[in-house]
Structures are given as C-alpha cells and as structure tokens.
Amino acid sequence: MKPTVHTAFGALIVAVMLFPVYWMVNVSVQPPGSTLTTPLIPTELHFDGYAQAFEDQGGNLLTSLTVSLASVAFSLVVATPAAYALARLRSRWVSVVLLAILFSQMIPGIVVANALFSAYNQLGALNSLGGLILADSTHGIPFAILILRAFLGGVPASLVEAARVDGAGRVRAFVSIVLPVSRNALITAGLFTFLFSWSDFLFALTLTTTDDVRPVTLGLYEYLGAHVSDWNTVMATATLSSIPALILLLAAQRYIAAGVGSGALK
Amino acid sequence: MTDVAKASAKPSAPPLRKPAAEASAPVRWWHTQRGRERLFHLLFLLPALLYLVAFFGYPVVQNLLMGFQRYGIATFYTGEAPWAGWDNYAAVTSSAVFSRTMLNTALFTVCSILAQFGIGLAIALYFRRRFPLGGVLRALLLLPWLVPVIVSGTVWRWILDQDNGVLNRLLGGLGLGTPGWLTDTSLALLSVIMVNIWLGIPFNVVLLHSGLQEIPRELYEAAELDGATGRRAFRYVTWPLLRPVVTVVLVLGVVYTLKVLDLILGLTGGGPANASQTLATQSYHLSFRTFDFGQGAALGNILIAVSLVFALLYLRANRRAVDE
C-alpha cells in the first residue's frame, strides 16, 4: 500500500476518536435553542454560547486557573528537591519511599476525599482556596517526584561538585546548576501538574459546600443537574475547559510524550 | 580526616557505614562531609514526605478507622462518631445494592480493560509503520486523555441523549430505533463502559507504542530470514518482547479503572436505579449524598483492598520489567 493510503486510514482513526471533541465545538457555536437540529457542520458561527458561558463561568474559570497555577508552584517546590534527594541518596530506604509513592498513586480519590472532608471540616479548610490547592496537588506531587527523579538522576554529579569547588553552597549549587539543566523535566512535570489540577473534579465536588470556591469542572457539572436547554452554553463551557489540554497538545507535544511514558513506567 | 578526603574525592563510593565510630569521640556523622551531604538530602526530602503522610497516609488510616465508626450529619457538629465495630461492613455488604455494585465494578473494569487494550494495541501497531503525518496523527489521539474527564462525560451525555443526541439521530435515521443509552437500566452500564473505553484508548496507545519502539528492527529482519513475517512475526517477536510492557499497562489500567468516578457521575450518576453504580460511585453516594461517612469509608476500604491486590501484581510485573 502507498504511504498516503496509510495516512488516510490513520486520519480516519483519529477522526473517529476525536468526533466527540469535534461535536463539543460544533454544538458550542450553534445559536441558542437550536440544539435539537444541530447540523453536522456548523454553517455559521454563533458565539452566544460563549458569551453566556463567560457570564456564568467566568469567575469559575478564574478560580480553576488560580488553583491550578498555585498547585503547580506548590507541587514543584515540594517535589523537585525530593526528587533530587531520592536520585542522590544511597540508602535502602530510597526504594521504600519510591514504593510508597507508587502505591499512593493507586489510592482511590474518593478515599482521600472521604477522610479529608472531616479533617478539613475540623480545620475550617472546606471552601478555601488553600485547602483545594493542597488536595489537588495529590494528583501531581507523586507523579512529579517520579518523573523528576528519573531525570535529575541523570544530571552528572561532577557538575555539582565543580560548583561546590568554586565555593557555592549546596542549596546554591542545586538552584543555579541542577535546576537550569533540568529545565525540560521541570516543564514536563509542571505542565502535567497543571493539567491534573485543572481537570480535578472530585475534590472540588467533595471539599466545597458553598459557591465560594468553585472550579469550572464543578460549574460544568452543575449545568447537568439543572436540566439546561441551552446546550450551546454547556458545550462552550466544556470547550473553554478543554483549552489547556489543546494548548498543551499543540505547543508542548514533545513534553507530553516524555511525561506519559516516564511517569507510568518508571 | 582521611575519611573526609576519601568521601569528597570519590562521591560514587558506597556510603561509609559509621564514620563517627572511626573518628575521635566528639565528631558525629553529620560533621563529616558525607554526613552533611546526607543530612542535606534528607532535609530536601522532608517536605515531600510530610505531604505524602498528610495527604495519603493519614486518609488511608483515617478511612480504616472511619469504617468502624458510626457517622451521621450530627457528627460534623458534635464531632462524635461512636465505635460501631463491623456494623458498617455488615450494612454495606448485606445491602441490596452491594452485589449489583460488585458485579458492575467487575464488568466495568474487565470490559473496559480488554477493549481498551485490544483497540489500543491495534492502533499502536498501525502507527508503528512510517507514513506522512504519522507522528502528528498519533499526537492528536492523545486529546481525549488530556481533556478533563468531566468534560468528556458532559459531551458524551449529550451525544448519547435519547431524544436529541446525535447518535440516536443517526440510528433513528437508519431506522434502528432510539434506545435510551443512559436512561435504560439494561443499557446504562454498557454505555458507561463504551465511553470509558474511548477514554482509555490514548493511554494504551502511548504506552504500547513506546514499548513497540524499543523492539530492535534487526530482530524482525532476522525473523524474516527465518520465514517469520506478518502474524508469525507478531507471535514470535513482537508479543514476547512486549510482554513486560503489556503487564504494566494492564495492571495500571485495572487500578485506574477501579478508581473511575468523574466519568460515571457525569454520565449517569450511577443510575438509573443503580444500573451503573460501582464501588467508587457508591462510596461517594454513601458519604457525600447520605452523609453516612462510616459506610462510605467501609466501601472505600473494600475498594482499596481490591486495588491492593492489583497493586502487588503491578510491583511484581514492574520488578520483572526492570530486571529484564
């Protein structure tokens, strides 16, 4: 077979797999109230859905962004030094810690939420940004430690020693030598941590009881409970919620391949 | 002092067992170069350890305890949750929903995994050949996996809508009827499984594809000389060499599928009449809908026990994969 035939068939596979994503965008640009007769291809673009989505969910989008960025910062600050230490320490406890991290990724979110709810309730951390940021970081920190360790282990020890000989302290050597050469790994870990927090729904659902802190994932879910008729608004919200994933896919493809591979297998 | 010199000169040497014992009395291990290095690393590790203990260790222990306690709405005002022994476990396992939930969880997990893996492997094998835009297309396949799960749930809910969904419009147009994919008790679980398969394919494709890339091309050339091509090459070269990756993909898939909650809540909420209720969603319902955190915890612990079995399998598989 010719390569172009392969490309055509490959494109068909992708088209079938991505049809729901296409449909989401298609419905989102329909005029309001016309969702019963959505054409297969949008004949004209209506942005009423997006206007309504921004009106309903603008604040929630901002909350999602705040929580996700803070979660990235927190996760990297906690995970990077730990990953470096785990790559450098020579001790049988290292494998114990790594094992614990692997197991932590298998603990069902509902179990964590169940216990955190009562703890947060006592600490007054329900409905707080900080509480949600910390909880959302459970998605990212173990993952970040695992992929960063795989990379930081490969940074030559001689680089650090050279800096130490030049009089740099340990922390300084770490910050000014190890971190810059690990830039790609840090970007990968950061991107995934962002995506994990952005996608979080379970903790938003369980650890908030009021409207004070409401990520867009929860806002979207509440549309479903309200029997909305304007699916163009719902799909516009869904599309807006997918933008980080799209950006990631288009702009940072090589980082994604690295992340998916190393995080799961190492 | 000689120890110190040796330690700094050869950083890759095995750690000195007890440098302090060899040195004169007032010198402790953290006074040596190597000891300070170690202390520094331990301090680096500390925040992460504290976090893991607080957000994974504590919840697991707390959940075990909660499984033995009686919770009501009042508990969250008075803080009192009396000891209940095995009552919660007796209540959840004897409830009418339990056997349904277990069966649903098993069906959901097994069907999802088998189909995800089968389709994922087929796609990974297809994208292994080189053709124009192959890499771009393979990257696009990742999108369903990167989009928030609740978004996918919402989109599919509209696609599968009985009266207005695009699927039924298509089927109705072909005269095949308009089934209630999410509202019919005999179809809801099947629909949820189908969507979860769609969701899991990208993950399988990526891992299996990178596994396939690791198989040296020369092996196929050698096999071809021996007359093994096509299906036989797959049987005797691809499959045996892919086995470690396959095991890891399957076990990880099971553990992740057992945890699935967002998708089912978005699509059916576990309904209609518990038709798509799984251990995870039922645990959520007990805790956060009926506020019986004790029973929710008990069911959550059963879920952990099931996951643990597979987690141990994963470790064994992973260790073997590393050894090979």
Closest to A156 in 3D by CA, of B28, B57, B12: B12
Which of B59, B79, B151 is closest, CB to CB, to A238?
B151
Question: Which one, of B290, B286, B270, lies nearest residue B67 by Cα?
Answer: B286
Does residue A108 sit at the B interface (CB-CB below 8 Å)? yes
CA distance A48 to chain B (A): 18
- The pLDDT averaged over each successive group of 10 residues in chain B (324 residues) is 42 47 61 82 93 95 93 76 88 92 95 96 92 87 92 95 89 89 94 96 91 89 85 89 88 89 93 93 94 93 90 73 53
Half-sphere exposure of A9 (CA within 13 A, CB side): 12
> Which of A81, A205, A241 is facing B151, going by the closest CB pair?
A241
Question: Residue A161's domain is classified under what CATH number?
Answer: 1.10.3720.10
Test B141 with A17 for CB contact under 8 angstroms.
yes
Q: What is the three-class DSSP state of B318?
A: helix
ipTM of the complex in this document: 0.91
Of the partner residues A85, A86, A248, the one whose CB lies closest to the CB of residue B146:
A248
**Mean per-residue pLDDT over chain A, rounded:** 88
Q: What is the pLDDT of residue B12?
A: 46
All residues at 6 or more sequence positions from A123 whose CB lies less than 8 Å from its CB, including other chains: A131
- Is residue A209 included in any domain, yes or no? yes
Residue A48 in any domain: the answer is no
Instruction: Give whole-number Cα distances, B224 to A147, B130, B217, in Å.
Output: 37, 19, 11
Q: What is the mean pLDDT of residues A110-134?
A: 93
* Burial class of residue B220 in the structure, from the number of CB atoms within 10 Å of its CB (0-12 exposed, 13-18 middle, 19+ buried): middle
Span A164-184, pLDDT tens digits:
888 888 888 888 888 988 888
Residue showing tokens 């005797």? B236
Tell me how many domains chain A contains.
1
Q: Which of A222, A258, A252, A261 is nearest to A238 (CA)?
A: A222
Nearest-Cα residue of chain B relative to residue A223: B154
**Is A80 part of any domain?**
yes
3-state helix, strand, coil in chain A (%, to 5): 80, 0, 20
Are B267 and A224 within 8 A, CB to CB? no
Q: DSSP letters along A193-252, please? A: HHHHHHH--HHHHHS--SSSS--HHHHHHHHHHTT-S-HHHHHHHHHHHHHHHHHHHHH-
A265: contact with B, CB 8 A cutoff = yes
What is the spatial distance between Cα B44 and Cα A72, in angstroms, rounded to a whole number? 18
Tell me which architecture the domain covering B89-323 has in CATH.
Orthogonal Bundle (1.10)
Q: Find tokens 């980080």 and name the residue.
A: A244
Q: How far is CA B152 from CA A69, A140, B143, in A?
A: 23, 21, 11
Residue A9 falls inside a structural domain:
no
A157 touches chain B (CB under 8 A): yes
Asked whether residue A85 is assigned to any structural domain, the reply reads: yes
Contacts of A115 (CB under 8 A, 6+ apart): B58, B59, B60, B62, B63, B66, B297
Q: How far is A81 from chain B (nearest CA, A)?
A: 5
Report chain A residues whose CB lies below 8 A from the CB of B120: none
Q: Which residue has the tokens 């095991």?
A: B247
Identify the band that residue A265 occupies on the pLDDT scale cut at 50, 70 and 90. Answer: very low
Cis geometry, peptide bond prior to residue B272 (ω within 30 degrees of 0): yes
Query: Which residues 174-193 of A are in CB contact (within 8 Å) with B?
Result: 174
Residues of B in contact with A174 (CB under 8 A): 44
| pLDDT, tens digit (0-9, with 9 covering 90-100), for A95-109 | 899 888 888 888 999
Q: What is the pLDDT of residue A35?
A: 60
Structural domain boundaries enclosing A193: 59-265
In a domain, A49, yes or no: no
Using CA atoms, how far residue B157 sits from A78, B83, B180, B181, B267, in Å, is: 38, 42, 11, 9, 5
B155/A235 Cβ within 8 A: yes
Given a cut of 70, is residue A261 above it in pLDDT?
A: no
Residue with tokens 């950083």: B11
Three-state SS at B69: strand
Out of B130, B151, B311, closest to residue A220 by CB: B151
Chain B residues in contact with A21 by the CB 8 A cut-off are 143-144, 147, 155
User: B-chain residues within 8 Å CB-CB of A24?
Assistant: 151, 155
**Strands (DSSP E) found in chain A:** none
Burial classification of residue A88, based on how many CB atoms lie within 10 Å of its CB (0-12 exposed, 13-18 middle, 19 or more buried): buried
Helix then strand then coil, % of chain B, to nearest 5 = 75, 0, 25
> To the nearest whole angstrom, how far is the Cα of B24 from the nearest Cα of chain A?
25
What is residue A264's three-state secondary structure? helix
CB pairs under 8 A between A and B: 275
How many CB atoms are located within 10 Å of the residue A89 CB? 18
Q: Is the pLDDT of residue A84 over 80?
A: yes
CB contact residues (below 8 A), chain A span 70-99, against chain B: 77-79, 81-82, 84-86, 88-91, 97, 99
What's the pLDDT tens digit per position in A43-68? 888 898 999 999 999 999 999 999 99
Q: How far is CA B42 from CA A77, A84, A158, A163, in A?
A: 15, 10, 21, 21
Q: Nearest CA of chain B to the CA of A22: how many Å?
A: 10
Report the residue of B60, B137, B195 to disrupt the A interface, i.e. the one with the largest count of A CBs within 10 Å: B137
- Percent of chain A exceeding pLDDT 90 equals 50
Check residue A256 and give its pLDDT: 66
C-alpha B259/C-alpha B20 separation (Å) is: 49
Examine the pLDDT at A262 and tell me if it is beyond 60. Answer: no
